[in-house]
């Protein structure tokens, strides 16, 4: 009997120990579960990039005085720039480059940008009071334009063009000396006398072009060609391309486009009006290069800088190339220390 009781007690004791162990295991699992739940689940750390302050929204009127030969490409730029900046109103005013500059220097008018068909007019007419830097941005070349209705249109070529211009029944014209295309025409004629070994050719060509056929800017001659009032007009190749005109290409030694002929070009020169009445500036034959600047007294320098960035950037230069005025990339600058810092990455000194 005592042995039986002892056996039962042993069994009860063993069961109690087993239950205690099982309870301890359950508590450990529950504790582990609670610890896991309370601990935050590890996640990838997300880096926060520093954000730049947004550029101030451009707004206002952007006035550009430009060469007549830039009217077409700058018209495209006007539309695109305004679409990019809806609060900006671009106002283009084209004239001969000399007149465009004088609107600022002599008439006191405001412009955010001056775009000249001859970069050298900027330092010659604007330094030091109205500007102290320029950037070159495009090139061009001289050609002789005509239409199917022009007299001797089927005969003219790079070898006989000057003979045809000298015929009594032919009307030809060019722009005046305030317009780079005008004085470049006279430089071409001077060079032609040397190139074709025709002494006196320059004087003969000048005499054969009456005053009535000379206009303030070269693009005005396009309408005279189309109406038949002129048979031939001295123009840039870009103007011919933009207006679907036929043209004769001069030899590279005459067309003022080739750097390799710079020494030959320099054998020609012409006096053009200077900054003061009665004064002149000597323009020597040189490859055609366009220049742009921001007048130092402009009312909206931020707008001006933004547009020049656009002009010198991919969008603007694509338009210049498409318009027959090959871009200069990067642009050249005469004084890097004077150019706005925002433009320095677009140019070389």
Residue 138 forms beta bridges with which residues?
290, 327
Residue 191 and residue 268 in contact, taking contact as beta carbons nearer than 8 Å: yes
Using CA atoms, how far apart are residues 91 and 62, in angstroms rounded to an integer? 6
Q: Could you report the average pLDDT of every consecutive run of 10 residues in the chain (349 residues)?
A: 39 39 40 30 34 64 97 97 97 97 96 98 97 98 98 97 98 97 98 97 98 94 97 98 97 97 98 92 97 96 97 97 96 94 94
Which residue's entry shows tokens 């007019």? 121
What distance in Å separates the CA atoms of residue 51 and residue 245, rounded to the nearest whole number? Answer: 52
Task: Name the strand (E) or helix (H) holding 248.
Answer: strand 246-249
Phi and psi, residue 78, nearest 5°? -55, -50
Tell me: cis bond preceding 167? Omega within 30 of 0 counts. no
Sign of the Cα pseudo-torsion (211, 106, 270, 240, in order): negative
In 3-state terms, what secondary structure has residue 18? Answer: helix
pLDDT of residue 56: 59
How do beta strands 172-175 and 142-146 pair? unpaired
Mark 175-210 as b/e (b = at least 16 C-beta within 10 Å): bbbbbbbbbbbbbbbbbbbbbeeeeebbeebeebbe
What was the pLDDT predicted at 349?
Answer: 84
HEC readout, 117-156 = CCCCHHHHHHCCCCCCCCEEEEECCEEEEECCCCCCCCCC
pLDDT of residue 271: 97
The answer to whether 190 and 208 have CB atoms below 8 angstroms apart is no
Residue recorded with tokens 């900006």: 88
Q: Are 146 and 231 in contact (CB under 8 A)?
A: yes
pLDDT given at position 193: 98
Write out pLDDT tens, residues 65-121: 999 999 999 999 999 999 999 999 999 999 999 999 999 999 999 999 999 999 999
pLDDT of 277: 86
Question: Structure pTM?
Answer: 0.83
Per-residue model confidence (pLDDT) at position 57: 85
Residue located via tokens 């011919």: 240
Are 251 and 195 a contacting pair, CB within 8 Å? yes
User: What letter would DSSP give residue 211?
Assistant: G
């Amino acid at each position: 009997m005592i042995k039986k009781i002892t056996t039962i007690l042993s069994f009860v004791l063993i069961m109690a120990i087993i239950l205690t162990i099982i309870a301890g295991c359950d508590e450990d699992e529950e504790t582990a579960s609670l610890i896991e739940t309370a601990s935050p689940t590890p996640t990838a750390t997300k880096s926060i990039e520093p954000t730049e302050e947004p550029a101030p929204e451009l707004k206002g009127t952007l006035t550009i005085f430009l060469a007549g030969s830039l009217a077409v490409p700058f018209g495209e730029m006007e539309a695109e720039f305004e679409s990019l900046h809806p609060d900006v109103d671009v106002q283009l005013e084209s004239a001969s480059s000399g007149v465009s500059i004088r609107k600022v220097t002599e008439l006191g008018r405001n412009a955010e940008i001056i775009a000249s068909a001859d970069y050298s007019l900027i330092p010659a007419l604007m330094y030091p009071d109205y500007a102290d830097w320029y950037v070159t941005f495009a090139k061009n070349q001289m050609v002789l334009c005509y239409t199917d209705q022009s007299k001797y249109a089927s005969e003219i070529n790079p070898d006989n063009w000057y003979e045809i211009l000298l015929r009594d029944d032919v009307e030809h014209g060019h722009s005046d000396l305030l317009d780079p295309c005008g004085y470049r025409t006279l430089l071409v004629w001077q060079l032609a006398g040397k190139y074709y070994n025709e002494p006196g050719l320059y004087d003969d060509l000048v005499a054969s072009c009456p005053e009535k056929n000379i206009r303030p800017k070269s693009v005005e001659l396009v309408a005279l060609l189309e109406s038949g009032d002129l048979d031939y007009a001295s123009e840039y190749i870009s103007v011919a391309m933009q207006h679907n005109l036929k043209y004769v290409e001069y030899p590279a030694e005459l067309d003022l486009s080739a750097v390799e002929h710079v020494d030959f070009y320099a054998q020609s020169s012409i006096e053009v009006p200077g900054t003061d009445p009665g004064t002149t500036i000597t323009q020597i034959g040189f490859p055609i290069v366009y220049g742009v600047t921001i007048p130092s007294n402009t009312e909206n320098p931020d707008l001006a800088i933004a547009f020049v960035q656009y002009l010198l950037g991919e969008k603007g230069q694509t338009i210049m190339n498409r318009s027959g005025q090959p871009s200069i990339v990067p642009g050249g600058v005469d004084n890097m220390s004077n150019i706005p810092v925002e433009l320095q990455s677009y140019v070389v000194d």
